[in-house]
Amino acid sequence: MTAKKYRTAQGRVVDLGALQLKNESVRAVGNMGVNARGDVVDSFNNPIDTATAQARRHYNRQTSKIQNTPVTQKRPAK
């Protein structure tokens, strides 16, 4: 659990960490179609694609397989 406890102006304590954990599977407000974890959800709040799978795909797309052979270009003879 996180230690995100704040005191309001009226003296009440609000635990935002518990509030986040309680509502992490609820559809977020907006037009992106995700929940609080970042999972893509359908109209029934069922996760279609998890945030970890999205991050893994993005990472694999950004990192490329580097070959150990040097790249050489032959210049045409004049």
Q: What is the pLDDT of residues 25-47, one digit of tens each?
A: 889 888 999 998 899 999 898 99
What residue segments make up the domains of the chain, in order of their start?
1-26
Considering the chain, what percentage of its residues have pLDDT values greater than 70?
87
Greater confidence (9 vs 66) lies with 9
pLDDT on residue 13: 94
Distance (Å, whole) CA 12 – CA 19? 15
How far apart are the C-alpha atoms of 40 and 23, rounded to whole Å?
Answer: 15
Residue 13's SS3 state is strand
| pTM confidence score | 0.58
Q: Judge whether residue 23 has pLDDT over 80.
A: yes
